[in-house]
Structure 1
C-alpha cells in the first residue's frame, strides 16, 4: 500500500494526540498548553481556520502535522510527529512538502515554526526546504523553543 496524506477527520483525533504526546515526552516534556490544544484539535486548530494532515498507510496513521492560523495569510507549521518505528522514512519530509504545496495553492503568504536547536535533523530539514531563522519573540508560546524559522510562499 502507498502512503497517503489526508486532511483532518474526527476519527484521527486520538492519533493526533498520541503521536504528539509521545514525541514531546521523548524529546522534551508536555506543557499544559500542549495537552489543551492536542486534546481538542478541532477547537484550537481547525475551527479558527487551520488545517491538520495525516500520513496514512493501510488505515494506520504514521505521522501528522498541523498548520495553525496565525494571521490573514500566515500559518504556524506545528504539531509534526511521526511514529517512532516509522522515523527515518522521510514521512516528516512528505508532510512538510504537502504543507508547503498546500500553502501555495491556498495563497498563504508564509509559514513559520518554532523548534529547538537540539533537534539537529529537524533544523537541517527546515533549512533544506527554505526556512530561514528569525528572532524568537520574548512571549513565545513554547518554553522549550529556542529557534524560530519562516518560509515565504509567495
Structure 2
C-alpha cells in the first residue's frame, strides 16, 4: 500500500535512505544527497509517500512535488532486502499518476551517473535521458517522461 508519509514514518524513511543509497557511497566518494535530506520538513510539506508492506513496515519511499509544468521526482528508495519486487516501480507509477491528476505534462528526475542500475531502469519505464551535468558536486544524469 502507498500512502502519504507522516511523522511516525520518519525513522523508517531515514533508515531506508541510508540503506538504499549507502551502497553507492564508495563508488561516488561521499554520501548521496537523499542520505542527508530533511525528511521531517519534506513530510510536513506533503512531499513524501511511503510503501507499506503487508506486515505494516515501511519498505520504501518516494519524494516528489510539482515544479512549473512537471512533477519533480526528487528521490525514490527501497529497502535492499525487498528490491526487485516492483516496489520502486509502483512508487514511480504513483508519482506519475499524481502528476496526471494535477494536470502536469511530465515527470522529471535525476540520478547519479555511478548508479548504473538506475541508468538502465529509467529508460525501461519510458524515461529518456535529457542531459548530464555536475550539480552540488555530483555528476547527475537527468531524465524526463512525457505524460501526454
TM-score category, normalised to shorter length: 0.7 to 0.9
Structure 2 unmatched ranges of 5 or more: none
d(CA) in 1 for partners of 2:131 and 2:31?
24
- Give the SS at the match of 2:84: coil
Name stretches of at least 5 consecutive residues in structure 1 with no aligned partner. Answer: none
Higher strand share: 2
Q: Which of 132, 136, 144 in structure 1 is aligned with 2:132?
A: 136
In the alignment, is the contact (CA less than 8 A) between 1:20 and 1:79 conserved in 2? no
Deviation of the 1:125 alpha carbon? 2.2
The alpha-carbon deviation at position 63 of structure 1 amounts to: 0.6
Give 1:72 deviation, angstroms: 2.5
Shift of 1:147: 0.8
Aligned to 1:63: 60
Give me the whole-angstrom Cα distance separating, in 2, the residues matched to 1:61 and 1:126.
23
Distance apart, 1:129 and its partner CA: 1.7
Do structure 1's residue 112 and structure 2's residue 113 form an aligned pair? no
In the alignment, does 2:123 pair up with 1:122? no
Of 3, 8, 12 in structure 2, the residue corresponding to residue 6 of structure 1 is 3
Count how many residue pairs are aligned between Structure 1 and Structure 2.
143
CA contact (8 A) 1:136 1:147 kept: yes
Q: CA deviation at 1:104?
A: 0.9
SS at match of 1:40: helix
